[in-house]
Structure 1
Amino acid sequence: MGRYVFRLPDIGEGIAEAEIVAWHVGVGDIVAEDARIADMMTDKATVEMESPVSGKVIEVAGEVGEVVAIGSPLVVLEVAGRGDRAGEGDRPFTPTAEPDPVRETPPVSEKAVPEPADEPSAPEPLAEPAPPSPRGEPSRGRVLASPAVRKRAADLGIDLGEIRTAEGGRVRHGDLDAFLSYNAAGGFLPAGTKRRDEHVRVIGLRRRIAENMAASKRNIPHFAYVEEYDVTALEALRGQLNEARGDRPKLTMLPFLITAICKLIPSYPMLNAHYDDEAGVVSRFGSVHMGMAAQTDAGLMVPVIRDAQDRNLWQLAAEISRLAAAVRDGSARSADLSGSTITVTSLGPMGGVATTPVINRPEVAIVGPNRIVERPMFVGDATGMERVEKRKLMNISMSCDHRVVDGWDAASFAQDLRKLIEAPALILAGGIS
């Protein structure tokens, strides 16, 4: 038998290292050629690593959250024959990337629930102390159990070491049920009443988000501007267009907002820009590459609508749908996640009254529509008479980089945006003069 050292390949231009965000194999596993072995995250995307050969895993580069340099060993496999080169497997298997100071803390279970053996605790009694376990024995240390059983026991405040099993082996749900029946008077807390402390490592996309948000707030002097908009006419137009959409995608508020922003950008080029604070250079862009903040199971991501100024409402709606699906199922390409020049962020019906979104550095502005509410308003007519009507109102929030954008500019932009939003025919026509 020989050894095959699989080194982390060059997975993108300018990429020097990647973070391990998931292992799909462990030491001792048999893997087939082209089998998925790990997920590696770069600054731009998550890349799946596949085994180039079949064999048995005998060494891996590190734990989830560690960084591996391009060209460093990722996995060592025991293979038939002499392997990839003589003596290759005899060298020590250590990643060459410098460890992150955050990662010097002891590793924590992936399930974020401490093992009972590491943190034993007895359930708090509600009335009288719980009777001894059926076996009358102390906790027996580490106990075999599935993650689901282990979590259920933790939620109930039960030490798995106190549970009798058929042959002293793996604890199953049935063993938990029997224990609960036997100790029904013991005062065990119902599921969800008591939880243990959790210590979850910040890794992968969550760590990238934390670093980017901290850098943005640390380096950019944010200021916020919030304005109220009457969207009654816009919502009526949106409803009419959706009724006649046929097989085209359904229109939400975002395509209208993006179109309105694109029409105003030529008059407010300082908003569609990047600021390089180290070089002291502001780059104002002719095209609007609209970032769209999207929530995923892994965290916040910002896919990019390229050349948004050249797309109509239906094309924007289709691209929004495509990008949202891509980031949620993990199929987004690197090009889909980079190069934005200004960003919109929306929480939809949960948008709140007002928000103060964090700028997507090195951009200088971010726009966030909030929740639509219905309220009575005084509405004037052509004769100057006023009456009270029920109207649909929405606040739009902006955060700007005060080094590049002045308060007057942001306020002027918001007022011109109001003219388009409240007279939506202008969004479909040539804009405002």
Structure 2
Amino acid sequence: MGEFVIKMPDVGEGVAEAELVEWHVKPGDPVREDMVLAAVMTDKATVEIPSPVEGVVLWLGAEVGDTVAVKAPLLRIRIAGEDGDAAEAASPVATEPVVKAEAVGDRPAETKHAASSPARQAAEAKIAEPEKSIERPVAREAAERPLASPAVRLRAQEAGIDLRQVIGTGPAGRIGHEDLDQFIARGAQPAPVAATGLARKTATEEIKVTGLRRRIAEKMRLASSRIPHITYVEEVDVTDLEDLRATMNAGRKPDQPKLTILPFLMRALVKTIGEQPGVNATFDDDAGVVTRYSAVHIGIATQTPSGLTVPVVRHAEARSIWDVAAELSRLADAARNGTAAREELSGSTITITSLGALGGIVTTPIINHPEVAIVGVNKIMTRPVWDGTQFIPRKMMNLSSSFDHRIVDGWDAAVFVQRIKALLETPALIFIEG
């Protein structure tokens, strides 16, 4: 018997450490070659750590939420081998991390790193071929949190299924979509909760902030503490814009996406930025340097099962409204299912945030650091508007926009929003060049 030590791999791009966000195994669990053991998160991506060997987990070197340095031991695996093999098997062998976009999903885009080393090949040569066997359910303690991906958890929540009642057939009892399918096919229902009447509740629950949620928290803290925000709110009459949108959707070609209000706003942003380039910028306050961009890379704040991400529509200035809509739809889908590439989740020069039908009347959006402006879209409501002689129904929407007051003066912020308002209220202007 020998031991195999798996260390935190070097995922490239100068990353010296990563946060452990998920264990897929625990001491005593059997593992197979290429089975995913853990997931770690860097500033730009989530990386899955596979096992290069078959054996049994002996020891875990970190807890979820811990920051682990590159080359630090992550776990030890007992492997089957000949006598005297322990020293060679325990030598530091690089695994091949699987890199995914920051929003975790079930079908991530994968990139393999690091060729097999001679030490790993020697270790693998002494490992018996895995026997063909049927995956057996793993027993789970009553209070143990079931292992499942964010997409599986979201699906179970929407279906009203308690994952603790579902038997997972994946590694270490991990629950997959096929396990949910079998649970539903059997007609299993969540256990009924007995009515207890009114009673005091004193239980508390501590939830460690890890992974993408911690990244979001750090980003918001940085933006809120370092950027003096000024928020400007203006109402916009989008009645004519909504009529135009409905007409364009009715006449769209089969290969054209359905238009929402966002592509019109993005094209209005491009035109307005041409007149006020100061808002399409980033500010390095440590160096005291503002960088203005001729390219308009628009970040779209998008809610995913794992948390908030900002996919980027690059070069919006060079895209038609249909092209913008298609790219927006593609990126939103990629962000939600976890297949967005790293470069698709960074590099924005200005951001739009929208909560759709939940947009509320007014919001105070936080700037996506190090940018200097963010435009917030609120929900559309039909309200009576006085036209000088009578009240008439109009579709009204507020824009809630925030600016870095160190770079953008209040007057310039107001001019910027008013120009967007004029374009949205007379949408034909959006399509006039020059």
What is the TM-score normalised by the length of structure 1?
Answer: 0.74
For 1:51 and 1:411, how far apart are their aligned partners in 2?
56
Aligned to 1:54: 54
Gaps of 5+ in 1: 92-142, 150-172, 181-186, 381-385
> Relative to 1, partners in 2 of residues 1:243 and 1:67: Cα closer, same or farther, differing over 3 Å?
same
Does 2:411 align with 1:408?
yes
Offset of residue 88 of structure 1: 6.9
Amino acid at match of 1:279: A
Q: Contact between 2:21 and 2:41, CA under 8 Å: does it hold in 1? A: yes
Aligned to 1:237: 244
Aligned to 2:20: 20
Percent identical residues: 52
Does 2:355 align with 1:347?
yes
Q: Deviation string for 1:181-204 (max 9, x for gaps)?
A: xxxxxx9347x9847212111111
Q: Contact between 1:369 and 1:396, CA under 8 Å: does it hold in 2? A: yes
Aligned to 2:133: none
Aligned to 1:2: 2
> Relative to 1, partners in 2 of residues 1:203 and 1:144: Cα closer, same or farther, differing over 3 Å?
closer
For 2:262 and 2:200, how far apart are their aligned partners in 1?
41
Aligned to 1:120: none
Show the 5 A alignment for 1:334-373: 334-373=342-381
For 1:284 and 1:201, how far apart are their aligned partners in 2?
38
Does 2:258 align with 1:250?
yes
Q: Deviation string for 1:87-108 (max 9, x for gaps)?
A: 67499xxxxxxxxxxxxxxxxx
For 1:371 and 1:195, how far apart are their aligned partners in 2?
38
Question: Higher mean Cα deviation, 1-10 or 395-404?
Answer: 1-10
Amino acid at match of 1:407: G
Aligned to 2:121: none
For 2:41 and 2:282, how far apart are their aligned partners in 1?
25
SS at match of 2:213: helix
For 1:285 and 1:68, how far apart are their aligned partners in 2?
36
Question: Higher mean Cα deviation, 232-241 or 75-84?
Answer: 75-84
Offset of residue 32 of structure 1: 1.3
Aligned to 2:289: 281
For 1:329 and 1:232, how far apart are their aligned partners in 2?
34
Select the structure with the greater relative contact order (CA < 8 A; seq sep ≥ 6). Answer: 2
Does 2:433 align with 1:430?
yes
For 2:91 and 2:427, how far apart are their aligned partners in 1?
70
Match for residue 142 of structure 2 among 139, 142, 145: 145
Q: Deviation string for 1:313-339 (max 9, x for gaps)?
A: 222222222222222222222111111
Offset of residue 148 of structure 1: 8.8
Aligned to 2:424: 421
Aligned to 1:313: 321
Q: Deviation string for 1:97-147 (max 9, x for gaps)?
A: xxxxxxxxxxxxxxxxxxxxxxxxxxxxxxxxxxxxxxxxxxxxxx95365
For 1:73 and 1:366, how far apart are their aligned partners in 2?
42
Aligned to 1:389: 392
Gaps of 5+ in 2: 93-139, 147-187
Does 2:88 align with 1:79?
no
Aligned to 2:156: none
For 2:236 and 2:324, how far apart are their aligned partners in 1?
22
SS at match of 2:81: coil
> Relative to 1, partners in 2 of residues 1:148 and 1:203: Cα closer, same or farther, differing over 3 Å?
closer
For 1:211 and 1:11, how far apart are their aligned partners in 2?
21
Q: Contact between 2:374 and 2:402, CA under 8 Å: does it hold in 1? A: yes
Question: Higher mean Cα deviation, 1-10 or 18-27?
Answer: 1-10
Does 2:395 align with 1:398?
no
Amino acid at match of 1:264: T
Offset of residue 357 of structure 1: 0.2
Q: Contact between 2:240 and 2:425, CA under 8 Å: does it hold in 1? A: yes
Aligned to 1:301: 309
Offset of residue 235 of structure 1: 0.3
Show the 5 A alignment for 1:210-225: 210-225=217-232
Offset of residue 251 of structure 1: 0.8
> Relative to 1, partners in 2 of residues 1:222 and 1:22: Cα closer, same or farther, differing over 3 Å?
same
Amino acid at match of 2:279: L
> Relative to 1, partners in 2 of residues 1:195 and 1:332: Cα closer, same or farther, differing over 3 Å?
farther
What is the TM-score normalised by the length of structure 2?
Answer: 0.73
Aligned to 1:119: none
For 1:331 and 1:85, how far apart are their aligned partners in 2?
39
For 1:324 and 1:349, how far apart are their aligned partners in 2?
17
> Relative to 1, partners in 2 of residues 1:57 and 1:239: Cα closer, same or farther, differing over 3 Å?
same
Offset of residue 253 of structure 1: 0.8
Question: Higher mean Cα deviation, 334-343 or 309-318?
Answer: 309-318
Amino acid at match of 1:297: P
For 2:314 and 2:54, how far apart are their aligned partners in 1?
41
Q: Contact between 2:4 and 2:91, CA under 8 Å: does it hold in 1? A: no
Q: Contact between 2:20 and 2:39, CA under 8 Å: does it hold in 1? A: yes
SS at match of 2:142: coil
Match for residue 198 of structure 1 among 186, 201, 205: 205
Aligned to 1:44: 44
Q: Contact between 1:4 and 1:84, CA under 8 Å: does it hold in 2? A: no
Question: Higher mean Cα deviation, 284-293 or 80-89?
Answer: 80-89
Q: Contact between 1:374 and 1:393, CA under 8 Å: does it hold in 2? A: yes
- Which protein has the larger Cα radius of gyration, Structure 1 or Structure 2? 1
Amino acid at match of 2:142: A
